[in-house]
Amino acid sequence: MSMTIRTRLSLMIAAVMLGTLLLLLAAAAALLQREVTLERDRQLELLTAESARLAAGIESGLLSKDQQKQTEARRTLIQEIQQNHGGKGLFVVFVLETPSGLRIFGEGALPNIELRLPREILALPDGFDEVLLEENPYRIHTVGTAWGKILTGVANPRLPQLLREYPFTALLGIPIVIFLSLLAGQVLARLVMKPVVKVARESEGITSQNLHRSRISYQGRDEFGVLVATLNDMIKKIGEALISIRRFTQDAAHELRTPLAVQRGELELLYQDEQLPENLQETVARALNRTRSMKKMVDDLLLLARSDNHQYPLRFEKIRMDQLVRDLGEDLAIMVDEKAVEIVVEAEKLELEGDAALLSRMLLNLLENARKHTREGCITLRLKRDGQMACLSVSDTGTGISAENLPHVFDRFYRGETRGEGSGLGLSICRWIASAHHGDLRIESREGQGTEVSVKLPLSR
């Protein structure tokens, strides 16, 4: 499924923001871990120095061979350490090197630390080290003395462990960060796309009728402003080209009307000559039909050219539409008299304001189309009132229009599968006439079942 540009932009912004935020959080976590470690080291240095000082004061007791003196010295040392550093999560281990072997004892956050401390830790060189005690990270400070070693330590949890210790913060914080990133991405994408949406809405009002005076407004001087300026320039050039084409079409159609009218008159006179041989008479008849078709096409072109240039003079007046519909229905019945086609006219008494000549032309075009494509069956012409609108429809049971051709029936010169029949301008003219009367024209058709053209016109302007 394709996503809109706004959605893609929102996701991209959210991804960049989330990635940046995660990098910042990672950097902050690393700095925090470093600061915590440095603070641990300072604590351990103080504890080690204090322990070394206290041990130096009772060194003879600690190294004494008298068990009672050793015990008393240890108790005194432990009490001093507990009094000064107890409850801070620290521990201290003393390793005494005596002729009889190593003597190890300790005190602090880990009970019996001297028994739980791995022997390899006792061999660590002086300095700070990271070790695991029972799968938990600890910071160890080792200092050598004249009589052995002092090891001090403190828990130094890593960030993943902290997250495990605070699962609610992790479970709630991560979705909140993702949601805020998506929300910020959506807001920023909307701000970025706002001028695009504005230009798109303005462009919807640009048609071939107002192209020459249309201009997209945008005050920015950014890259999008350059694009809008290019579009405005293109619209201007297209509008000028359309004006030239319409002017040429109108001038050409106007220039062709007179010679075609003369040619038609001469052919009609020649066709009426009784001394004309029969074979020539057939040729003249075909030429006369072609001339009439060309004359009608030129008239249609001239009408469309004038309508495009807003130069056609509309003459609105009160019209009895029901009388016009019945008259044209009777004319249609005469034209299909030899066909097996039934003409049905249903017209309510209606009066509206319109151009009688144009409305007659629209109805004639629709009825002529129905007649051409209906060899048998029925052609129905209906007129009824719907609120403040007059609803006119012409339906037939003819050949219909294929789904492939239906979207193009209003295109000028488009004749679909009926090549050689008509000029392909009739429905374009009909739609313009309906639009000129502030109405609407729609067409529905199914191939092999027939066609219905519906026209809605306001009863008053």
Expressed in angstroms, the distance from the first to the final Cα of the chain is: 47
Task: Enumerate the β-bridge partners of residue 173.
Answer: none
For the chain, which residues make up each domain, given as ranges? Answer: 5-165, 223-308, 317-458
Alpha-carbon distances, residue 285 vs 37, 256, 421 (angstroms): 109, 21, 17
Among the listed residues 286, 285, 294, the one whose alpha carbon sits nearest the alpha carbon of residue 262: 294
Query: Which of 55-69, 379-393, 409-423 bottoms out in mean pLDDT, i.e. has the lowest?
Result: 409-423
Please determine, looking at this structure, whether the domain spanning 223-308 carries the CATH number 1.10.3720.10: no
Average pLDDT for residues 455-459, to the nearest whole number? Answer: 89
Give the model confidence (pLDDT) of 17-33 as tens digits.
778 877 887 787 788 77
Phi/psi at 127 (nearest 5 deg)? 130, -165
* Strands ordered across the beta sheet of 101-108: 101-108, 90-98, 148-155, 136-145, 127-133
Name the H helices within 272-405. 278-308, 321-335, 356-372
CATH of range 317-458; options 1.25.40.10, 3.30.565.10, 3.10.20.30, 3.20.20.140: 3.30.565.10
What topology does CATH give the domain 5-165? Beta-Lactamase (3.30.450)
Residue 337 Cα distances to 316, 330, 372, angstroms? 34, 10, 13
- Per-residue pLDDT tens over the stretch 417-455: 654 456 677 788 888 888 888 899 999 988 888 899 999
Burial of 175 (0-12, 13-18, 19+ CB in 10 A): exposed
CA angle (249, 250, 252) in 5-degree steps: 65
Q: What is the pLDDT of residue 441?
A: 92
What is the full DSSP assignment across 204-231? Answer: HT--TTTGGG--------SHHHHHHHHH
- 19 alpha-carbon distance from chain centroid: 24
- Please give the residue that has the higher pLDDT: either 371 or 193: 371
Q: What's the CA gap between 208 and 238, in Å, rounded?
A: 9
Evaluate whether 78 touches 91 at the Cβ level (below 8 Å). Answer: no
Top pLDDT among 252 and 272 is at 272
For residue range 76-118, list pLDDT tens digits in order.
777 777 776 665 678 888 888 877 777 777 777 777 777 777 7
Contact 91, 121 (CB under 8 A): no
* Over residues 387-403, mean pLDDT: 88
